[in-house]
Amino acid sequence: MELIRLDTVDSTNEYVKRLGMQGAAHGTAVTAAVQTGGKGRLGRSFASPEGGIYLSVLLRPDCAPDRLFSLTPSAAVAVCQALEQECGISPDIKWPNDLLLGGGKLCGILTEAVTCGSGFFAVLGIGLNVNTDIAALPPELRRQAVSVQSVTGRQTDCEALCAAILCRVEQMYCAWCADEKAYLPRYREKCVSIGRQALILRGNEAVPCRTLCINDDFSLKAELDGGRIENISFGEVSLR
Ligand code: BTN
């Protein structure tokens, strides 16, 4: 994978999209020390001060775009593996693809599909709080966010961690191309969103439920009050 290192960028996902539109190769990766317009899931912004890893990878999968759903949770497993290897920590996964450490949010992942001519490409974006000073995050995020340093008290070599993430993502992608459920067992082991009272958040609605299991397609099976079963493949579930 070719890695382009930037000091500051609007969003590494947006930068990789621009490269992708110009025909950049599968595997092109971009990291930035700071993002001024970091993007999160569901149209949110992603605070990206210095100390974190902001990494996006261009992928040109040979499949239909609707298969991409399983790629992001699989990437969450790959990032956990890199963190175990480089930092000796074992984060949990909150469905669908947040990494938690000690209950606080450590990492978010955003995959975007971009139509290009008659085909498409995907941008896998990873935002990880590594040596991030929690005080540098917006006040509303400080209570729920953690960084590797804020939990372990240790500084991490971001370059080495980034290289490990790229390596694990590459391994995951090879496995995923052969079998999109390849990382499902590992995902289920790490996912802490099961057997919990939760709220399904949809627009202004918050629907109470009990989470039951991760389905074979990585969607979340939940039982609503009254016993109705729902399989959730989009949006947000808040654990209670
Ligand atoms: C989320 O938690 O909602 C997903 C956050 C994804 C953030 C990463 S940082 C690198 C890449 N560039 C972006 O603008 N977003 C992703």
Residue 72 CA neighbour count, 13 Å, CB half: 29
Hey, what amino acid is at 159?
Answer: E
Span 203-228, mean pLDDT? 94
Lowest average pLDDT, out of 15-19, 97-101, 108-112, 200-204, goes to: 200-204
**Residues 44-90: pLDDT tens digits?**
999 999 999 999 999 999 988 888 999 999 999 999 999 999 999 99
Closest ligand 1 atom, CA of 123? 11
Cα 175 to the chain's mean position, in Å? 18
Q: Is 43 left (phi over 0), alpha (psi -120 to 50) or beta?
A: left
Give pTM, 2 decimals: 0.96
Alpha carbon nearest to ligand 1 atom 7, residue: 127
For residue 236, pLDDT over 90 is answered with: no
Q: How far, in Å, is the centroid of ligand 1 from the Cα of 126?
A: 5
Helix-helix angle 71-87:158-178, to 10 degrees: 140
Say if CB 124 and CB 169 are below 8 A apart. Answer: yes
For residue 199, pLDDT over 90 is answered with: yes
15 lines ligand 1 (CB under 6 A): no
pLDDT at 2: 81
Span 191-198, mean pLDDT? 95
For residue 230, pLDDT over 90 is answered with: yes
81 lines ligand 1 (CB under 6 A): no
Mean of pLDDT over the chain: 95
Q: What is the DSSP letter of 219?
A: -
For residue 121, pLDDT over 80 is answered with: yes
Best residue among 8, 13, 237 to mutate for probing ligand 1's pocket (most ligand atoms within 8 Å of CB) is 13
C-alpha to C-alpha distance for 171 and 14, rounded to whole angstroms = 24
Terminal C-alpha separation, the chain: 40
For residue 102, pLDDT over 90 is answered with: yes
Say if CB 109 and CB 124 are below 8 A apart. Answer: yes
pLDDT at 164: 98
